[in-house]
Amino acid sequence: MIFFDLIQNIAILLVGYSLFVAIHIALVNFSQGYYQTHGFERIMGMVLLFALGGLQLIHFAYLQYRLLFIHDLLYYVLLFSVAPAFYLFSKPLLFADSHRKFGWALHFLPVLLIPLSPHSLTIPLAFTLGSAYLIWLAHSIYALRNQRSRFKLELWVLSAVFIIAVGVSLLGLGVFPLHEKWFVALYSVAIGSAFLLVNIVLGRSPQLPTKIVQAARETYAVSTLNQVDCDDKLKRLSVLMKHKQIYQDPELDLPMLAKELAISNHQLSELINIHLGKSFSRYIRECRVSEAKKLLLSKPSISVLSIGLSVGFTSQSNFYSAFREIVGMAPGQFRKLKPSE
C-alpha cells in the first residue's frame, strides 16, 4: 500500500507536469520553425497533445478523487486518438512528405468501433492498434539509421520513449494483469515520463523537426528544388538581406520572403535548410543579430532596446534571447566588452 501511494503521488506530479509541457509545446514549439508552413502537422500535433492531456486529466480525477471517468466514452475516444494522431504528426517528418489526401481520416475510423466493442475489450483493442503504429515507427526510425550520427541524444531519448510505449502497450494488452488503479497510475507515469524526455530534447534542439525533415530528404532523395535555380535564388536572398535589409520588418515570415523570391514556402524552407544549413527562423535571427552587433558598436548613444527593435525584433525579451543564443552574451555586455574604436 505504501509503495502504491508513492507511485500514485509520482503519477499525480507527472500529470501536472504533462499538462504544463503540453501547453508550452502548443504555444511555443508549434508556433515557430517547421510548423509555420506545415499546418496539417501542427493540427495533428495539437490533437496528440489534446488527447494525451485529456487522458492525464482523467487519470488525475481517478487517482485524486476516484472519479470513474476512465470508463466513459470520452476516455476511450482519447485513447483511440493517440496512435493515429502521432502517426499523422510524425509521418511527414520521417518521410519529408507534405502531400495530403483525405485518406488521413481513415486512421480515426477505429474510434467508431468503440460503441460496438465490449467494455472489457476496448482498452486492449486500443493498445493493439497502438502496437501496430509502434511497429511502423520502429521501421521508420530504422530506415533513417544512416543519419544517426546527427541525432545521438535524440535517438537515445526516442529509444527511451519507445521502451515506455512498449511497456504501456503490454500493460494495455493485459500481458501483466494489474488492478485498475495500478494501470492508471503506471499509465500516468509513462505519459509524464515521455513528456519529460521530449521536453529535454526540444529544450536542447528546438529546431529538431527541421533537422529531421532534412535528414529524411537526404535519405529518401526527396527535394522540392529540382526545378529551382538555387544559385540565383541564394543571390537574390543575399540582396534582400544585406542591401534591402528586409529582415528589419518585424512581420517578416516565411511566406512573405518566399513571395519575394517567387518560390513556394516549402522550396524556400528547403533552400535555407540545405544550402545554408539552418532553419528559416534561425537565419532571420542571425541577420538581425549581425546588424544589431554593428549598431551596438557604431551607435553607443542609442539604447540597446531601440537597436533591437530597429533590426526587426518585436520585444526586448526576443532580442536578448536571440542575441544570447547566437553571440553567447547579452547585448549590453557585448557593447562593453567590444568598445568602438
pLDDT in tens, 258-268: 999 998 887 88
pLDDT tens figures, 10-49: 999 999 999 999 999 998 888 776 776 678 888 999 999 9
Identify the pLDDT of residue 223: 67
CB of 246 closer than 8 Å to CB of 252: yes
The CATH number corresponding to 223-337 among 2.40.50.100, 2.60.40.1730, 1.10.10.60, 2.30.29.30 equals 1.10.10.60
Q: What residue segments make up the domains of the chain, in order of their start?
A: 2-99+106-218, 223-337
CB of 18 closer than 8 Å to CB of 195: yes
How far is C-alpha 295 from the geometric centre of its chain's CA atoms?
34
Query: Does an H or E element contain 136, and which?
Result: helix 119-143
CB of 266 closer than 8 Å to CB of 281: no
Identify the pLDDT of residue 288: 96
Query: b or e along 67-85 (b: 16 or more beta carbons within 10 Å of the residue's beta carbon)?
Result: eebbeeeebbebbbbbbbb
Return the CATH class of domain 2-99+106-218. Answer: mainly alpha
* CA–CA separation, 191 and 60 (whole Å): 12
pLDDT tens figures, 322-337: 999 899 999 999 988 8
The set of residues, in sequence order, having a beta carbon less than 8 Å from that of 193 and lying 6+ positions away, is 14, 164
DSSP state of 245: -
pLDDT confidence band for 137 (50 / 70 / 90): confident
* CA–CA separation, 301 and 310 (whole Å): 14
The set of residues, in sequence order, having a beta carbon less than 8 Å from that of 35 and lying 6+ positions away, is 29, 41, 42, 45, 209
Q: What is the mean pLDDT of the chain?
A: 87
Between 257 and 208, the more confident residue is 257
CB of 247 closer than 8 Å to CB of 311: yes
Q: What is the C-alpha radius of gyration for the chain, rounded to an integer number of angstroms? A: 24
Find the range with the poorest average confidence among 103-117, 121-135, 149-163, 170-184. 149-163
Burial of 104 (0-12, 13-18, 19+ CB in 10 A): middle
Identify the pLDDT of residue 276: 86
pLDDT tens figures, 266-305: 788 888 877 888 888 889 999 999 999 999 999 989 999 9
| Nearest to 130, CA basis, from 170, 89, 93, 95 | 170
Helices (H) and strands (E) in the chain, counts: 14, 0
Find the range with the poorest average confidence among 1-5, 64-68, 70-74, 235-239. 1-5
For the full predicted model, state whether its pTM sits above 0.85: no
